[in-house]
Structure 1
Amino acid sequence: MAKRFHLGWFTNFTADEWNTPFANGGSPWDGKFYVEIAQALERACFDYLMFEDKLSVSEAYGGTTEVYLKHALGMVPKHDPAPLAAVIGAATSHLGIVATMSTMAYPPFLLARLCSTIDHIAGGRFGWNIVTSAENAAAQNFGMDKLPPRELRYEMAHEYMDLVYRLFDSWEPDAVVMDRETGTYADFTKVHPVNFEGKYFKSRGPLNTVRSPQGRPTLVQAGGSPKGRDFAAKHADSIIALNSSLEEMKAFRDDVRARAEGHGRNPDDIKVLFLVAPVLGATEQDARDKHARMRSGSQFIEYSLALMSAITDIDFSKYELDKPLPERLVTNGEQGSLDAFQQWGSGKTLRELVQNSSGAIASIELIGTPDRVADKMGDAMATVGGDGFLITTPTQAISRRVINEVTEGLVPALQRRGLVRTEYTHKTLRENLRAF
C-alpha cells in the first residue's frame, strides 16, 4: 500500500503551446498565464511549481539556432524565472515556487540576496533549483570559452553552497527586534560578516536583507551521476529523478537516501520526485489514441531530439534515425539526462528511443483514464517507497487544457485513493514537503 506522496509541476517560463487548437497564444510574457496555472495547481494542493532555465540560445541541434527559434521549443524564447517566481508568490498563498538559478551565472552574494527577497515575497514558499549549467554556449555568454569539466563544476558548487549558507545565516533568527522604546530596528550584534575566502569564491557579507522566513530557500537539485547524487544528497530538500524503470527508480532513491545518511542527514527530509508525462483520456482508448497522434506527428521526432540535444549538448541530428546510437555517449552537459535517454533499450534505433520515452525524459509510462493512471502512480510509489512525482508534458510546453486534465481529473482520482493531500497543513514549502 502506497503512503501519501507529493506532486510538483515542471515547466519553463517560455512560450506555451502557441499553435495548437487549445493554446494560450504564445505570449505569456507578462506572467499572468503562469499565475493562472499556479493558482490551478494550488487548488489541487501541489507542493511546488518549478521553472527550469537555460542561459543561451542553443545551437546544439544541427549547429544552428533555427529549429529552436522556428518552433519556439522550450529552450528559447525563455525569460528569467526569478521575477516570475516573485509575481506568483504574491498571487498565491500555499503553493511553493521553485526557480532555477545557476552557480555559474550568479555571484553567491547576489543569489543569496535574491533568494531571501523572493522568499519574503512568497511568505516562505520559495525554492532554488541548483544548477551548474551544462552548455558551452551559456558559458560563452558569461565571458568563458567553455564550461569547466563536470567534476570541477561540482567542486566549485560545493564551495558555492558553503558560502551561501553562511550568507543566509549572517542574520540571526532574532536579529530584527523593532524596539520602539530604544528606536532599534535590528540588533547589530546579531548581524555578522562571513569573511569567506575559498578556492573559488570570496565574500565579506553579511547579507543586507532580513533573514528569510525559511532561513534559506528550499533547495531542489537533479543529480544523475555519482557526483550529482552526492551533491543532491548533501544539499537538497527535493531531488528531481530521471529513471526508466521501477527498479531503477527504487535503486536511485535508496542510493541518495544512503548518501544522505552518510552526510549526517535524515533521509526522510529529502523528497525524491520522479519526472513523468501523463497522457490522460476519458477512456483507455482515447488516451492511447492521443498518445499515438502525438508520437506520429510530423515534427515530434525533430522536437524531441532538438530538446535532448540542448539538454545534453550533443548533436543528435548527426545520427541516423533508424539505426542504434553507435556508442554509449558521454557529455560534459547533463550526463544524467543522457543516461536516462539511452536506458530506454539497448539496440533500439534512435527513432525508437524517442518514441519509447514519449518525447520527454519520463520515469514510467502513464497513459489512460485518470483512475487508471492514479492506480499506476500508487503502485509505483508502493514499489519504490516514495516520495512523489514531478509532472511535465512530452515537450515541456504547457496549456490550460493539460493543466485542467491533471488538476480536475488526475488529482481528484489520487485524492479519492488517499494518495495525495487534500489541504495544506503548513506555511512554508519546506514544512509542506516534510509533512509526510
Structure 2
Amino acid sequence: MFQLGWFGNLTAPEWAPSPTSPYVTDDATTWMDGRFYIDQARNLERAGFDFLMLEDSLMVPDMYRGTSEMALKHARYAPKLDPVVAASMLAYATEHIGIICTASTTFYNPYQLARQFATLDHLTRGRIGWNMVTSSEDRAAQNFGMERLPEHDLRYEMADEFKRCVEALWMSWDEDAIVADPDTGYYADFTKVHRADFEGRFYSSRGPLNVPRSPQGTPVYCQAGGSPKGRDFAAKHTDLILNIPIGVEGMKEFRNDIRRRAEGFGRNPDDIKVFWVVLPIIGETEAEAKAIEQAWADAKDYNFEINMAHFEATQEIDMSQFDPDKPLPDDVTTNGHQSTLANTKKAWGDKTIREAASESSRITSIPLVGTADQVAERMGEVAEEVGGDGFLIYNQPMSRHYIASITDGLAPALRRRGLIRTGFKHQHLRDNLRDFA
C-alpha cells in the first residue's frame, strides 16, 4: 500500500478551457471566498488522501522582460491567499485529512510561527503540517525590507537553527501543564511551563510560548529540497519529503540517498515518507487520455509562456536575455531552486530554449496516462519497484473537472486493488502517515 497527497495552491482555478478542464466555471472569480478549496478538501478526504499540501510564494514575479505580465496573465505564483490563515477554515470543513501549510524560515519570526502552528494544531485536533521552505526569490526578500536573500546554503543553516528555536518554544509547555483544578484554584501548573531561553547565531527567543502543548507536540514536518544541502536538511528534520523524480531509477536513487542520510543523522529511515510528485492524466479510454496528453504537447505558445513564468518565479532568471534559438548557456546559475535548475538543464540538454520551453510544461516524472485502471495499475507497479512511500498529485491551475477525475476515477481504482487506505485509523496526521511501513 501507499499514500496520497495533493499539491494545492490558493490561487485562481482554471479560468479557460484546457485539455484536462474543458469547462469554464465562475470559480476563477469566486475562489477568494474559499468555497472552491473547501469542496476540494472534502473530496480529497472522501477519496482517501492523507493530506492537502498548500504551497506559497510571497511576491508578484516581474523578472521576465521586466514586467509581471507572464505571472499575472496565467495566474501563476500570483494572486494567492495565505495558506496559514486558510488552513483553519479547511480543517473545520473536514474531519481526517491533514493540512500542510508552507511557511518560510527566511521571513517568519520563530515565535510568530511557533504560536500560529501550535494554534492550528489545536484547531485541527492534530492534523496540521508545516512545509518548511527557505524561499528562493529576491523579490520576496524585498517585500520584507531585505535587498536580497542570504546565499543558498546559508539559508539552510538558518532554517536548521530556526527549527530548533520553534521546537524549544513548542516544548516549553509540559503535556500535563493544564490541570484545571477547582479545588486548588490552579488552571495551569506554573512549574510545568518553562522558558525556552534559546540563543543561536541567527535567532533567539526567551519564551515560554503562550499556547499550550499542541496535540502532536510539533506539526508534521514537510520539505522539498533537492540540492545536497536540501537533502541533508530533509533527512535530518522531516517526516515527509516531496520530490519530482526523473523516472523510476531517479526515484530509487533519491529514496535510497535520503534513507542513507537519515541513518547518518541517527534517524529511523522508515519515519521519513518520500512522496513522488506526479501528474496522472485520466481518460475514459486510453485513446482519450493520450489525446489529452497530445493536446498539452501541441500547446506550444502556452507552454513557452508558462515555462518563462516558472523560471522568473523559481529561479529569478529573465530568460528573455538569452537567444531563444540557442541552448541555455552552461554558466547560468541561481540563488533560488538549484535542484530545479539542474534538472532543467539535464532535461533540456542540447535543445534550444525555444524548442525545450515550448514542450509540454506538465510534470512527466513518470508517465501516468490512460484509463483510471491503467494508471492505478502502473502506480502500483512503480510503488512495488521503488519501495514506497506515496504520490503527491500536482496539476496547476486547478479545476473541479480534474479533481473529479482523480477522486472519482483514479482513487476508487487504486482502492479496488488494495493500494490506498479505506479509512483513517488515527486522529493525528503524523500517526496516519506512519500507518504503512
Partner AA of 1:431 in structure 2: D
CA shift for structure 1 position 320: 4.5
Give the stretch that moved more between structures: 182-191 or 128-137: 182-191
The one-character-per-residue Cα deviations of 1:197-234 (angstroms, maximum 9, x if unpaired) are: 11110110011001111000001001100100000011
Partner AA of 1:5 in structure 2: F
Partner AA of 1:428 in structure 2: H
- Equivalent residues in 2 for 1:325-404, closer than 5 Å: 325-327=328-330, 329-354=332-357, 358-393=360-395, 396-404=396-404
CA shift for structure 1 position 345: 5.0
CA shift for structure 1 position 310: 0.9
CA shift for structure 1 position 351: 4.6
Q: Structure 1: where are the runs of 5+ without partners?
A: none
Question: Does the C-alpha gap of structure 1 residues 254 and 352 become closer, same or farther in structure 2, counting only changes over 3 Å?
Answer: farther
Q: Which of 197, 203, 214 is the matching residue for 1:201?
A: 203
Q: Which of 143, 159, 162 is the matching residue for 2:161?
A: 159
How many residue pairs were aligned?
429
The one-character-per-residue Cα deviations of 1:159-213 (angstroms, maximum 9, x if unpaired) are: 1111111111111111111112112211111110011111110110011001111
Does the 8 Å contact 2:106/2:135 carry over to 1? Answer: yes
Q: Which of 20, 30, 34 is the matching residue for 1:27?
A: 30
Give the stretch that moved more between structures: 299-308 or 341-350: 341-350
CA distance in 2, matches of 1:100, 1:52: 5
- Equivalent residues in 2 for 1:205-244, closer than 5 Å: 205-244=207-246
Does the 8 Å contact 1:240/1:272 carry over to 2? Answer: yes
Does the 8 Å contact 2:41/2:90 carry over to 1? Answer: yes
Partner AA of 2:45 in structure 1: E
Paired residue secondary structure (2:33) = coil
Does the 8 Å contact 1:103/1:131 carry over to 2? Answer: yes
Does the 8 Å contact 1:244/1:343 carry over to 2? Answer: no
Does the 8 Å contact 1:274/1:390 carry over to 2? Answer: yes
CA distance in 2, matches of 1:428, 1:319: 49
Question: Does the C-alpha gap of structure 1 residues 280 and 257 become closer, same or farther in structure 2, counting only changes over 3 Å?
Answer: same
Partner AA of 1:192 in structure 2: H
Q: Which of 4, 7, 11 is the matching residue for 1:10?
A: 7
Does the 8 Å contact 2:245/2:276 carry over to 1? Answer: yes
Give the stretch that moved more between structures: 76-85 or 360-369: 360-369
CA distance in 1, matches of 2:384, 2:320: 39
CA shift for structure 1 position 11: 1.8
CA distance in 2, matches of 1:119, 1:351: 46
Does the 8 Å contact 2:91/2:124 carry over to 1? Answer: yes
Q: Which of 114, 117, 126 is the matching residue for 2:116?
A: 114
2:317 aligns with 314
Paired residue secondary structure (1:94) = coil
Paired residue secondary structure (1:343) = helix
Does the 8 Å contact 2:279/2:394 carry over to 1? Answer: yes
1:409 aligns with 409
Paired residue secondary structure (1:305) = helix
Check if 1:70 corresponds to 2:73: yes
Question: Does the C-alpha gap of structure 1 residues 81 and 48 become closer, same or farther in structure 2, counting only changes over 3 Å?
Answer: same
CA shift for structure 1 position 339: 2.2
2:20 aligns with none
1:289 aligns with 291
The one-character-per-residue Cα deviations of 1:331-373 (angstroms, maximum 9, x if unpaired) are: 11011222233332532343554466x4144421211111111
Partner AA of 1:229 in structure 2: R
Question: Does the C-alpha gap of structure 1 residues 88 and 306 become closer, same or farther in structure 2, counting only changes over 3 Å?
Answer: same
Does the 8 Å contact 1:276/1:389 carry over to 2? Answer: yes
CA distance in 2, matches of 1:169, 1:408: 41
The one-character-per-residue Cα deviations of 1:6-60 (angstroms, maximum 9, x if unpaired) are: 1100021101112332442333111111011000000011010011101111113
CA distance in 2, matches of 1:340, 1:26: 35
Does the 8 Å contact 2:303/2:358 carry over to 1? Answer: no
Partner AA of 1:100 in structure 2: T
Question: Does the C-alpha gap of structure 1 residues 70 and 355 become closer, same or farther in structure 2, counting only changes over 3 Å?
Answer: closer
CA shift for structure 1 position 262: 1.1
Partner AA of 1:418 in structure 2: G
CA shift for structure 1 position 377: 1.1
Partner AA of 1:326 in structure 2: P
Does the 8 Å contact 2:282/2:371 carry over to 1? Answer: yes
Does the 8 Å contact 2:70/2:308 carry over to 1? Answer: no
Q: CA RMSD in A?
A: 1.5
Partner AA of 1:429 in structure 2: L
The one-character-per-residue Cα deviations of 1:83-124 (angstroms, maximum 9, x if unpaired) are: 111101111100000110001111000000000001111110
Does the 8 Å contact 1:61/1:306 carry over to 2? Answer: yes
Partner AA of 1:141 in structure 2: N
TM-score, normalised to structure 2, is 0.95
Give the stretch that moved more between structures: 222-231 or 311-320: 311-320
CA distance in 2, matches of 1:196, 1:98: 26
Give the stretch that moved more between structures: 179-188 or 303-312: 303-312
TM-score, normalised to structure 1, is 0.95
- Equivalent residues in 2 for 1:95-134, closer than 5 Å: 95-134=97-136
Matched residues, percent identical?
51
Does the 8 Å contact 1:128/1:219 carry over to 2? Answer: yes
